[in-house]
Structure 1
């Protein structure tokens, strides 16, 4: 597994400098696995544990609480411990997390993004007496989890702090190896960087124009011009956030760009072949990318509302037949859009397909692409309020066992899934359920969406499959995801590994990066929309340096060095 796994670093730094929960962060972290960080006994006799987790980690609107979830119900029964679920109200998880960790009475287990949400990060949470360093407990009380870390040391590196503390049971995306003919179990599945967003084009319009699927930037320009000539109002429509998240068009210039309006994954930064860090919006080739986007905008090929509209606006235009190409995010699904169009016009030829990001010249290997890190950044920490650490470990460890992991990923064998030719598949009672709801919703009553265990990408694909297709029809949902995740779309995920700033570094970094990123975002829209001439690009680069670019890169480099030395 690649070591290029992201943490939401920009957000983390802002949290370090601005959040006020849990007391002040200590600048001296406790020794790895320090016994003084333990909260309670290791008797292993408790019959109930309290667990705080956002209900948005469930996969269906059919259940409102983890206590109603059939998978979790069986999980509790098998592990022999009742879980007292404590769930924040919808949209209030961040606020509730801050309020809870500011007290001395915490739930036994808390599943959240500790590295980015607690001021000072996990080491500070341990030093402040909020959570337990797990080093001394997992081998004895969590044998399945311990075995997984031995088999996948990169995951151990992600959840080990700069001081050597293992702080959580993480959520990890995993997938059966492409070399395997059979579905793989928990420990054999490899950590997986999931891509879920990319370019989509209407193949019916390409066919009408006599054009193939566009490959190069020139091909894309030709296709968009053809769409405009045939009366398509918005040849390319998108939300700026999704355009930049997918690294559309920018990857052709071997750079990464920040996600507009939501710097998720810190994708403005990436690693070069030599391991050094670069900031995409400061590179010379960024000017070429901006010039291409400005060309599309100025010629009426790019939707003029791309900076202000949301995903709903774009999809409304798509369904109304006004768009030739756009950026799509699963699990909405291309099949779902097509069904909506056909419902209004059964004779419509509307046929969208996912495509690879374009290249400058045919034969070019794209480097950077969108992707979720295998370690999703959230994990279940055991708090110092827990009176029986052994039991809490046992409850969490069951999700790393073969039996427990199947329950959380697939539900109940014979009810929600069955094995067909060695692969788990949804049962007919899920696909053709009596409630008349989508299979993904019916399946979500049994499977969990995200949590502190290896999440099987195969079940995520099953939930996104288009079950309305007739035999022989192509499932464009799954085909698109395969393309966007493929090496042809890029070999390196945009972003940085799970680095963290020290307490004494965080304020300096946050001040410099916030000014830098705000300025870069403002200039992106100005350059693309023609409100600022690209003749001023060199001046723009000078301004980035004046705002502290060198300081930001140096602090990032130092943090990366600490990250690389975490687990030797």
Structure 2
């Protein structure tokens, strides 16, 4: 959990603001000379239905993370939205890798944009800055000006619970994808290795997995006459931890709640010890990449493209192995250890919070709410997901909402071009994922991914922990405790796996976690869960 800015840091940030904010724009300094706001536009001057939203021009400032491909002011989706709504946006963007720092400085200074878009507003920021009045409560605006958002929240009360802070207010809107299953990229097998070793059935237990990885090391499945195969590759275990913990019945990296609502702290669980023991075994026998704790993701991918890797994690298998999207490299079936009757898989909760917020500087929260409500419609999801009709796609049957692809203008990669049209690329944007948006645009690879997910992950999928809020006092305490705990756990994970720390010292490690406040962390998360569950 992100630590709150203390008063000293806030004061320092304010003094630095004039210097730092100069770097908050994209390279063309978009938004550096934003015009002054027009007079506030009251709700009586906002059209509650239809378009435009306002009859008189309205200018608003928006801040969001820039992935460095296209300036937002030049993106066609925002130009289309201005034509549709009558609302002109001025952008105060910051590069993605430094966005959180710039966001914190903006909050500290009080020089707020009117809108935060895809800004990863944390639960702590909602509670803190909402309580200070810097973020506008949205629930009444939703009731009056956002029928599409209201419809989703009324239909799914758990979503409303998960975006309502302890003071009873909603300060941000989420990205909603009720069909989501992946929490992060799954694990994949190199299909060429499976074929070379005549593996007609995937491993179903940790012992069968171990046997397969050992064969990879010893039987030269890439056929080059060298023992250069890497059975299991990872980057600091961050890419495989979540998936592999499920083999021991754990479905949250730090915190998870079981079927009875009891909260568990993963690094103290016996299943976590089982996970460490297995990885230590792989490490000792040369089955886990010896560069796991030192290599970058690019270095991992280079090994994959060199046909050295048997088992790995990535969003899609060809991202690591190279080549074109295909169906030859199967998704890993979660395997079970001798500690459980069946494995589990940590499922995505279906929403990503903090994707959109309105600040106290906004001259017309009513018009802004109507603007964002459009993104929770089929039309809005289509516009921001794929750009306007006629550029990358067109309707094949508009009545049935079936589309077809058009050639990429000028050739090149479709995703790269799409990223010049919309901010919905590489960041979590507000809105709702609608399966109908992709009708007619899905290929064989997309259908195969869905089939693999349905067969291999869905039967074992469980949401680790709902999106809940802690009070400001709880957040401060857990941030302080977890700052040290998370660092210690990560260090000890590497030591246990590599054998620098023998697993015979598990009790000593567990006692140290308790001394550092692990039990208190569980108490706080349990209290927050119980409040959420009782709403």
- TM-score of the superposed pair, with normalisation by structure 2: 0.81
Paired residue secondary structure (2:433): strand
The aligned counterpart of 1:169 is 173
The aligned counterpart of 1:30 is none
Given the superposition, is the C-alpha separation of residues 497 and 164 from structure 1 closer, same or farther in structure 2, using an over 3 Å criterion? same
Pick aligned residue for 2:121 from 90, 93, 114 = 114
The aligned counterpart of 1:416 is 392
Paired residue secondary structure (1:387): coil
Residue by residue, what CA displacement relative to the aligned partner does 1:264-291 show, whole Å, maximum 9, x if unpaired?
xxx3111111101001121123222221
The aligned counterpart of 1:263 is none
Question: 2:280·2:496 contact (CA, 8 Å) conserved in 1?
Answer: yes
Return the offset for 1:164.
Answer: 0.7
Q: Is 1:368 matched up with 2:345?
A: yes
Return the offset for 1:499.
Answer: 2.5
Paired residue secondary structure (1:235): strand
Pick aligned residue for 1:50 from 53, 57, 60 = 60
Return the offset for 1:301.
Answer: 0.8
Paired residue secondary structure (1:137): helix
Q: Is 1:520 matched up with 2:489?
A: yes
Q: Is 1:239 matched up with 2:225?
A: no
Pick aligned residue for 1:506 from 465, 472, 475 = 475
Question: 2:249·2:340 contact (CA, 8 Å) conserved in 1?
Answer: no
- C-alpha distance in structure 2 between counterparts of 1:292 and 1:209, whole Å: 23
Aligned residues: 485
The aligned counterpart of 2:35 is none
Paired residue secondary structure (1:166): coil
Question: 1:234·1:303 contact (CA, 8 Å) conserved in 2?
Answer: yes
Return the offset for 1:326.
Answer: 1.6
Question: 1:356·1:489 contact (CA, 8 Å) conserved in 2?
Answer: no
Return the offset for 1:304.
Answer: 0.8
Pick aligned residue for 2:460 from 470, 477, 490 = 490
The aligned counterpart of 1:74 is 80
- C-alpha distance in structure 2 between counterparts of 1:276 and 1:22, whole Å: 40
- C-alpha distance in structure 1 between counterparts of 2:243 and 2:355, whole Å: 31
Pick aligned residue for 1:248 from 243, 261, 265 = 243
Q: Is 1:439 matched up with 2:414?
A: yes
Return the offset for 1:478.
Answer: 5.7
Question: 1:239·1:311 contact (CA, 8 Å) conserved in 2?
Answer: yes
- C-alpha distance in structure 1 between counterparts of 2:389 and 2:268, whole Å: 53
Question: 2:70·2:419 contact (CA, 8 Å) conserved in 1?
Answer: no
Paired residue secondary structure (1:240): coil
Return the offset for 1:492.
Answer: 0.8
Given the superposition, is the C-alpha separation of residues 136 and 75 from structure 1 closer, same or farther in structure 2, using an over 3 Å criterion? same
Residue by residue, what CA displacement relative to the aligned partner does 1:23-77 show, whole Å, maximum 9, x if unpaired?
99xxxxxxxxxxxxxx9743435522324232447xxx7x512222222222221
Pick aligned residue for 2:323 from 319, 335, 339 = 339
The aligned counterpart of 1:379 is 355
Question: 1:271·1:278 contact (CA, 8 Å) conserved in 2?
Answer: yes
Question: 2:185·2:315 contact (CA, 8 Å) conserved in 1?
Answer: yes
Pick aligned residue for 1:222 from 196, 211, 217 = 211
Given the superposition, is the C-alpha separation of residues 304 and 462 from structure 1 closer, same or farther in structure 2, using an over 3 Å criterion? farther
Paired residue secondary structure (2:104): helix
- C-alpha distance in structure 1 between counterparts of 2:429 and 2:319, whole Å: 28
Say which is worse superposed, 412-421 or 104-113, in terms of deviation.
Answer: 412-421
Residue by residue, what CA displacement relative to the aligned partner does 1:70-105 show, whole Å, maximum 9, x if unpaired?
222222211222222221234221122122222344
Q: Which residues in structure 2 correspond to 1:322-361 (within 5 Å)?
A: 322-330=308-316, 333-334=317-318, 337-339=321-323, 352-360=329-337
- C-alpha distance in structure 2 between counterparts of 1:335 and 1:523, whole Å: 30
Given the superposition, is the C-alpha separation of residues 133 and 335 from structure 1 closer, same or farther in structure 2, using an over 3 Å criterion? closer
- C-alpha distance in structure 2 between counterparts of 1:524 and 1:79, whole Å: 52
Return the offset for 1:488.
Answer: 4.5
- TM-score of the superposed pair, with normalisation by structure 1: 0.77
Paired residue secondary structure (1:136): helix
Return the offset for 1:197.
Answer: 1.0
Residue by residue, what CA displacement relative to the aligned partner does 1:180-221 show, whole Å, maximum 9, x if unpaired?
xxxxxxxxxxxx344441222122222222223222212211
Pick aligned residue for 2:261 from 231, 252, 275 = 275
Return the offset for 1:227.
Answer: 1.0
Question: 1:158·1:498 contact (CA, 8 Å) conserved in 2?
Answer: yes
- C-alpha distance in structure 1 between counterparts of 2:378 and 2:265, whole Å: 42
The aligned counterpart of 1:209 is 197
> In angstroms, what is the RMSD of aligned CA positions?
3.3
Gaps of 5+ in 1: 1-9, 25-38, 176-191, 258-266, 343-349, 468-473
Question: 2:133·2:360 contact (CA, 8 Å) conserved in 1?
Answer: yes
